[in-house]
Structure 1
Amino acid sequence: MQGTWRWNVVFGITGVVLTVLFSIGNNPLSVIMLRSLYAFVTFFVLAYPARYMFAAILKPPAMIGEPQESDEAKGHSLDVTTPDEGEDLNELLKAQMQGAASAEEQPEMKGAATEGAEAGFQPLTPPQFVSAANKQPEEMAKALRHLTGE
């Protein structure tokens, strides 16, 4: 069964607290204590089926048809090597270079791949902000006062 008897005690104490809270204003202390004892026992016993249902619901499904590996073999080896893709990368670069060269030689062939190569990379050039080097000190002080709210 999932869990320990401590969970049952927690459920029992929860029952005691609820019983005391709901009957503190209507019953004398002796009745409250007796009903709290009954609530503890009832919640303690009802915690077993509740724990069983939670364990059945939260249990992960078993994989059917897959052999179980032994625990001894798990975690002892780790393959961290990557395959050598240098040759594939060289082939792609050669194909790109040949494609760009053939597009320059044959301008009538315009495809999606050659259009991107012809356009080339153009970096983003945002507009320049106004430099503060040629501003007068009075204008700079005025701008600073405006920004700080003075």
Structure 2
Amino acid sequence: MLGTWRWNVVFGLIGTVLTVAFSIGNNPISVMLLRSVYAFIAFFVLAYGVRVVLAFILQPPSLVGEHSEQDVGKGNQFDMQTPDETYDLNQLLKSQLQDGAIPPSVETPSNEAADFRPLNPPQLLSAKNTQPEELVKAIRHLTGE
């Protein structure tokens, strides 16, 4: 079952408090105390039913088929290591220090080496020393006039 008998006592006390709260102005004290005892007993027994229903609802689903002894440890641990790449990393860092050298681990095969050319974009120039006519011409070209 779900929980302990303390839950039943808590439900019983809640029933007692509710009974006293609703009957304090309408009944004499002796009737109110007798009905609150009956309410405690009723709520105490009712809590067992609520606990049984909750235990049934919250029960984990049973697995289809039984586990064999071989399957007991499977899926509990994932033991995998990555290969040691410190040498390749050191070579890559050394090649970057040497201006533009291709690292040995990244070298392309010989048939692709002739076709491959690294991107070499032109360097941007500043427009500090240009003539005003050239600037006006460029602005008119960009604005579409």
| TM-score interval for Structure 1 and Structure 2 normalised by the shorter chain | 0.5 to 0.7
Name the counterpart of 2:29. Answer: 29
Cα distance, 1:28 vs structure 2: 1.8
- Quick one: distance in 1 between partners of 2:105 and 2:25? 85
**What amino acid is the match of 1:23?**
S
Structure 2, unaligned runs of 5 or more: 93-102, 121-145
- Quick one: distance in 2 between partners of 1:86 and 1:48? 61
- Quick one: distance in 2 between partners of 1:52 and 1:95? 70
- Quick one: distance in 2 between partners of 1:61 and 1:81? 29
- Quick one: distance in 1 between partners of 2:105 and 2:10? 69
Cα distance, 1:2 vs structure 2: 2.8
- Tell me the percent identity: 49
**What amino acid is the match of 2:35?**
R
- Quick one: distance in 2 between partners of 1:28 and 1:48? 31
- Quick one: distance in 2 between partners of 1:66 and 1:95? 54
Name the counterpart of 1:97. Answer: 106
Q: 1:44 to 1:79 in 2, by over 3 A?
A: closer
- TM-score (normalizing by structure 1): 0.51
Name the counterpart of 2:48. Answer: 48
Q: Deviations over 1:102-141 (max 9, x none)?
A: 679623xxxxxx8xxx59xxxxxxxxxxxxxxxxxxxxxx
* Equivalent residues, number: 100
Structure 1, unaligned runs of 5 or more: 108-113, 120-150
RMSD: 3.8
- Quick one: distance in 1 between partners of 2:42 and 2:48? 11
Name the counterpart of 1:11. Answer: 11
**What amino acid is the match of 2:9?**
V
- Quick one: distance in 1 between partners of 2:45 and 2:68? 36
Name the counterpart of 2:116. Answer: 106
Larger radius of gyration: 2
- TM-score (normalizing by structure 2): 0.52
- Quick one: distance in 1 between partners of 2:45 and 2:79? 55
**What amino acid is the match of 2:18?**
L
- Quick one: distance in 2 between partners of 1:33 and 1:41? 13
Q: Deviations over 1:78-121 (max 9, x none)?
A: 9786424126x94xx7797225xx679623xxxxxx8xxx59xx
**What amino acid is the match of 1:29?**
I
Name the counterpart of 2:137. Answer: none
Q: 1:8 to 1:79 in 2, by over 3 A?
A: closer
